[in-house]
Each structure stands twice: as C-alpha cells, then as structure tokens.
A and B are shown apart, each in its own frame.
Chain A
Amino acid sequence: MKYNSVFDIIGPVMIGPSSSHTAGAARIGLAARNLFGKQPSWAKIYLYESFAKTYKGHGTDFALAGGLLGFATDDLRMSKALDIAKEAGLKIEFIEDNSGVDHPNTARLVIGDENDQLELVGISIGGGKVEITELNGFELRLSGNHPAILIMHNDRFGAIASVTRILAKHEINIGHMEVNRKDVGKEALMVIEVDQNVGDDILQELQYADHIIQISKIDS
C-alpha cells in the first residue's frame, strides 16, 4: 500500500500552499540532501509536467531549495529559502523539461559540490508523500515509509552478506531490500528498508564491510 499511516492523510503540518508541490517538493529536496550527506554548493533541478507548469505559483522552487537546506515541511523559513540558499552559497538552477514522465509531479535533482555529485529523481504522489524512483542512474522505489540505508558497492560475491551480517549483529530487521547493478562486476546499489533508524556507529561499521563504495541513509 502506498500510504500506511493516518498521518499521511491528516498531515503533514506544513507551510502552504500545496502539499504535493510545496511539502512534497521540500521532502524530495531533503531526501537528496540526506543522501548526499552534506549541503551541496550547486543544484540543477529539472521539473516535469505539473511541477514544470506551476512551480512558481506553488512555491515548488523555494520548497526544493528549503529541502536542500535541510528544512522540514513546517519550517517557517521555507518561503525565504531561495534567498537563504543564495546567502549560504548554494547556487540553484531550475529547468522546465518537456520530456514525458510517468508521474505528473516529477523532479530530477542533480546536486553536488567541488568533490561529489548526486543525481536523484523524486515524485510527489499526493498529500506531501514522496517516492524516490532513481538514484545515480539506478532505478529504485523508496517510499520513505520506513528508515532506509542505501549502499553503493562493487558487484562482488560476499558484499551483501557482509552488510546483512552487520545488521543482524545489531538486531536490525530488514523489511524490504533490493539490489540493482549497472553491469556484472560493476557498481551496484543496495537499498535496505529497516524497521528502526540506524545509528551513525552502525553506518560507520558498514563503511568497512566488503566492497562498499559509499553509504547514506534516510531516517523516518
């Protein structure tokens, strides 16, 4: 089921005017920031269909910026987020893209700094709820219903086992898991939805598991 909590329906508490175009957009921005692990210094944001047609009126632009700055949906600074981003040295460019997409409220975020870059596609499915459908070229389906760990690794035997062994040791239960690779023996992405938020100490331990390239997490 797409929605699993009454608070997806009665909620979120948010700054207006639109749950899908403002609160949802802020959550996509925040997911990108969390996965990037730090504040980016630049962002190219591609907007599609309803997002592209109405982003100015709905404040989708400042909400995405607010999310990249780490704002929650009810942060009173939200409507000033574009100015705050500028002051914080975060350069954002919005691009209206006419390409066809599966969902009317789709945004593609390419964010980075001088060292790293991350590309993410998010959709805002209604009532402030979002899904991440693509990360660095990997297709995935991250609902945000549960905390999740995302692990970029090399496609080698033992990589998955070494990760799950650490989670088992800390008694962390896996609710949903998917593994996606670009090609045999190349980069792969593990997406693990778990039942409770994963602490930084465990994340650090996972960092030293076999064949791991990069780890990020989303708390719920």
Chain B
Amino acid sequence: MFRTIAELVEIAETKEIPISEVMILQEMDVKEKTREEVFAEMEKNLQVMEDAIERALQGVQSVTGLTGGDAVRVQQYMKEKTPLSGPILLDAVSKAMGTNEVNAAMGVICATPTAGSAGCVPGTLFAVKNQLNPTREQMIRYLFTAGAFGFVVANNAFISGAAGGCQAEVGSAGAMAAAAIVEMAGGTPQQSADAFAITLKNMLGLVCDPVAGLVEVPCVKRNALGSSQAIVSADLALAGVTSRIPADEVVGAMYRIGRQMPPSLRETGEGGLADTPTGRLLKEKIFGVSV
C-alpha cells in the first residue's frame, strides 16, 4: 500500500503503469474485489457527478437563496461572448460551481474528497473532456488518479475544513484534479505530482470561514477558482514546469499550517468572511437571531 506521493509515483514508474492503475490494483487488493467490480463502483460515482452537473445547468437555488444560478449565468456568457480566460477554463468553473450549487441545494452529489469541495474534480473532468475526448474508461480512470492523491492527503494530513481549513478541502480537491488532468492529457506520473504540488502550494493557509456555517458562501466560488487553478497547474506541469518543493512536503506543510489554525477559522462559522458585517447580517437574516 502506498503511503506517500513519492511511493505512488515510484510504483507507477517502476511498473510502467499510470497512477490510476496503481490505485485500481490497490483497491482490488484491499477490498478483495475484481477489476470489474471496482470499475463499476467508480462508474456509479461518475454518473452521479454527471447528473449533478446536468441538474445544475438547468438552474438550481439553495433554500436560503444565497447560492444558485451562477453555473447557468457563466454558460450563457460563454455563448454570447468570448471569455477572456478561455472556453475550457470557464466551462470547468461553471461546472464546478454547478456541482456545489446542487450540493448547497441538498441535492445528490459525490464527495470528492468532501461535499464542500465536490466541484473541482467533476468540474474539470467534464470541461477538459471536450478537448481530450476521453473514453468512458479514461473518465473513470480520472477519478482513480484524483482519488490516489486524495488518499495520500487524507492519511497524512486531513481533508476536512473542521480539521485543517479550506486548504484541506478545496486545496486537496483542486490539487487532485490537477494530477488527474495531467494523466488524461498524457503526462507522466511525476508531472501529475508536480501539478498536484503547484496547486496545493497556492492553497496553503486557506481558511474555512463559511457564512452562517452554510456550505454556500464562499464554498461555491472557491470550487470555481479551485478548478481553474487545477487546469492552469496541469498546463504548467505538462509544459515541464516542476515544483521545487516535492508534493509530500507540500502536504506536510499543509498539515502543520492546519494544526496552527484557530478553531474560529476551521468550519465554525465564527471567523473570516463569516465575521464580516455582511456575513453576520446574512446569518441573522437566515436564522432570525442576532449574533
């Protein structure tokens, strides 16, 4: 069983198999399941992601009214104008936001690695898909690659905002997506690790400060920007840009930073954006109590 990203990359390089295959083989081994069973289970998750995006693009609204409709707004803008950031990037942003809009509206989603950060992996997948034209199997492999990196983060640091801040959630999710994009685009396992590290480095220190304690503001838009960073990082790695700090050490830094974060910045809804005048006002409006 791999414990670190260095081990993960080494196994892939030695056996000359992609990262996704390392994850698939380990899952088969640990759960004593066949390749078909493991693939079928992941395909179910892929379907849930696809359905969530489809639902989002028809327009959803959360119970509080704080979020919803932005995924559609961005798609409309893309039809009418030429987006400055490019169609793939903005498509990913729209689909990532859409996934989290469905989540905020208490719809069905697949946590990747968490619900609050569920947008980055599917958002990027269903955007880069338009250029890379993957098979269904390659799309399923995308999720195994993302999962392999998330697996290392979860076991060596944390993936919940309550434990380590948003860097552990959207930070991990964006970095997982970056690594998966690289593999789908034909990059090497080491390039996946570099793309992962480049994204996570830029997420270090990101706090979890949800307004009114709801997974809406700023979570939905952080997934939007997280997915954009994933694509940019993947491009950097595919261009041959490497991370000076190895991926495992970035995970270690993320862990230590999270341990130093006060509870007010770890999903208690007490600090950061939650504690702005508007954040407090929204909470008062939603729950009808003064805070």
Report 15 cross-chain contacts, Cβ distance below 8 Å, ordered by A residue: A2-B154, A6-B26, A7-B45, A9-B150, A10-B110, A10-B147, A11-B112, A13-B111, A14-B111, A21-B162, A21-B267, A54-B268, A57-B213, A59-B106, A125-B160
- Cβ-defined contact, B213 with A8, below 8 A: no
B215: contacting residue among A5, A18, A124, CB under 8 A: A18
Let me know if B158 and A126 touch, CB within 8 A.
Answer: yes
Contact of A20 among B48, B160, B214 (CB under 8 A): B160
Q: Does B231 count as interface, using CB distance less than 8 angstroms?
A: no
Cβ contacts B205-221/A at 8 Å (1 or 0 each): 00000101111100000
Q: How far is the CB of B2 from chain A (nearest CB, A)?
A: 10
Interface contacts (Cβ under 8 Å), in number, total 179
The reply on A49 being an interface residue by CB < 8 A is yes
Query: By CB atoms of chain B within 10 A, which of A1, A17, A59, A78 has the most?
Result: A17
With A58-B215, A59-B106 known to touch, is A6 a contact of B147 (CB < 8 Å)? yes
B94 within 8 A of A: no
Give the B-binding residues of A (Cβ under 8 A): 1-23, 49-50, 53-59, 74, 76, 78-79, 103-105, 124-128
Chain B positions near chain A (C-beta within 8 angstroms) = 1, 3, 23, 26-27, 30-31, 41-42, 44-45, 48, 102-116, 118, 121, 143-144, 146-148, 150-151, 154-155, 158-163, 168, 176, 210, 212-216, 263, 266-270, 286-287
Contacts of A105 in B (CB 8 A): 160, 162-163
Indicate if the CB atoms of A16 and B105 lie closer than 8 Å.
yes
Q: Across the interface, do A10 and B146 meet the contact criterion of CB distance under 8 Å? A: yes
A11 to B3, CA, bound (A): 20
Residue from B104, B112, B216, B287 in contact with A10 in the complex, judged by beta carbons closer than 8 Å:
B112
A10, A14, A17, A127: the one contacting B160 at CB < 8 Å is: A127
Assess A17 versus B104: contact at CB under 8 Å? Given A6-B23, A9-B112.
yes
A18-B268 contact given A2-B155, A6-B147, A12-B111, CB 8 Å threshold: no
For the complex formed, measure the closest distance between the CB of A176 and the CB atoms of chain B, giving whole angstroms: 15
* In the bound complex, CA of A78 to CA of B159 (Å): 24
Choice from B23, B45, B160, B215 contacting A16 with Cβ under 8 Å: B215
Residues of A within 8 Å of B163, CB to CB, are: 103-105, 125-126
Q: Are B210 and A57 in contact, CB atoms less than 8 angstroms apart?
A: yes
A94 vs chain B, min Cβ distance (A) = 14
**Given A10-B45, A11-B110, A18-B116: A53 and B213 interface contact (C-beta under 8 Å):** yes
